[in-house]
Amino acid sequence: MKILKRVCEQYPFKLYCYCMMGNHLHLQIATIEDEIWKIMKNVNWKYTMYYNKKYDKVGHLFQGRYYSDIISSDSHLLQTSKYIHLNPVKAGIVKKPIQYPWSSYGIFMGVIKNNLVAEDNILNIFQDSNKNVNRELYRIYVESHD
């Protein structure tokens, strides 16, 4: 999260949601002025430098290029965030997304505070004036994945 914050200060973007898995990372972001490749290049480079220093390694850390897709509707925005938040559930790591500490789902549920995640952009799709109602509607939407 520190790396995302530093990159966001240099190349501002809106972070809608995230999930950090053991071997990959999901970010749902909206660029503001800078191209996505600049943001991802810096996220990957800064994390690689951190990892290599911490574990006394050298060289590349990531295999292949990141995947990106343009999200052009509220339904696609919701669908993507649901996919990201359910990733640890689908991987069999946890039974419920709230149990996974390395995703933004806890922020969406109001359990964790984080000023980098712009969860309102997704929660407001449910159009209730009460944020807690929107949180509950989002929880129902995500957890009714069966």
Sequence-ordered strand ranges (E) for the chain:
13-20, 25-31
Q: What is the pLDDT along the chain (146 residues), one digit of tens a residue?
A: 999 999 999 999 999 999 999 888 999 999 999 999 999 999 999 999 999 999 999 988 877 778 899 999 999 999 999 999 999 999 999 999 999 999 999 999 999 998 899 999 999 999 989 999 999 999 999 999 65
CA nearest neighbour of 16 among 124, 122, 94, 143: 122
Query: What is the residue extent of each domain of the chain?
Result: 2-57+61-143
Q: Which residues contact 15 (CB under 8 A, 6 or more apart)?
A: 4, 8, 27, 28, 29, 104, 116, 117, 118
- The architecture in CATH of the region 2-57+61-143 reads 2-Layer Sandwich (3.30)
pTM: 0.90
